[in-house]
């Protein structure tokens, strides 16, 4: 969203999947998760395995079942622990709403906070909105329903762009 708002003239379309923008809504579902995520990020005594387990619980995903984390996952968790918190999102709604490119927001239908975030983004940016249940936060893993939806959206975006040209 940040890059699209920074250079809207360079964007052909924007697809957001389960966007973790916990700073854009004050609904009870979002606030509850946001507060818990802030507590998690603030706990500097927690190790990566416990951080990941708690993070997965908060976003509705199953954690890695046993210690240790696999090396690639461990590297990703280390980066996540030191990244900006998902409550810091403050996109430029005015630019995104007025941008001429098509927008699509997809969620997995598994977490009230993510549903509210997706609804808020769709409403504020005039985006298409879709829910694809079955794989929780890992929406692309539903396979053909996701692939078909994304391909159809991108084809319509290309067609709209061609008709303007």
As given in the structure block, the two tokens for residue 113 are 């906070």
Residues in CB range of 28: below 8 A, 6 or more apart: none
Percent of the chain with pLDDT over 90: 90
Residues in CB range of 7: below 8 A, 6 or more apart: none
**DSSP code for 123:** H
Angle at 50 (CA atoms; ends 46, 55), nearest 5 degrees:
105
Residue 161, class by beta-carbon neighbours within 10 Å (0-12 exposed, 13-18 middle, 19+ buried)?
Answer: middle
Q: Per-domain residue ranges for the chain? A: 2-24+91-164, 29-81
Biggest CA-to-CA distance, the chain? 56
What number is the average pLDDT over the span 1-20? 96
Its pTM stands at 0.92
Q: Report pLDDT for 129.
A: 98
Q: Report pLDDT for 161.
A: 76
- 70-74, 80-84, 123-127, 137-141: which has the minimum mean pLDDT? 137-141
- CATH code for 2-24+91-164? 3.40.50.1820
Residue 148, class by beta-carbon neighbours within 10 Å (0-12 exposed, 13-18 middle, 19+ buried)?
Answer: exposed
What number is the average pLDDT over the span 144-157? 95
What number is the average pLDDT over the span 138-142? 91
Confidence of residue 165 (pLDDT cuts 50, 70, 90): low
Q: Report pLDDT for 163.
A: 77
């Amino acid at each position: 969203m940040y890059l699209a708002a920074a250079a809207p003239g360079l964007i052909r379309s924007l697809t957001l999947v389960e966007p973790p923008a916990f700073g854009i809504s004050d609904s009870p579902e979002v606030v509850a998760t946001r507060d818990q995520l802030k507590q998690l990020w603030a706990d500097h005594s927690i190790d990566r395995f416990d951080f990941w387990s708690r993070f997965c619980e908060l976003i509705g995903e199953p954690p890695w079942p046993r210690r240790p984390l696999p090396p690639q996952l461990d590297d990703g968790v280390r980066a996540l622990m030191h990244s900006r918190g998902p409550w810091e999102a403050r996109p430029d709604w005015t630019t995104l709403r007025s941008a001429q490119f098509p927008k699509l927001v997809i969620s997995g239908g598994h977490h009230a906070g993510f549903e509210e975030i997706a609804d808020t983004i769709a409403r504020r940016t005039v985006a298409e909105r879709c829910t694809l249940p079955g794989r929780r936060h890992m929406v692309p893993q539903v396979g053909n329903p996701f692939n078909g939806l994304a391909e159809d959206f991108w084809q319509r975006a290309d067609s709209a762009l061609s008709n303007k040209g």
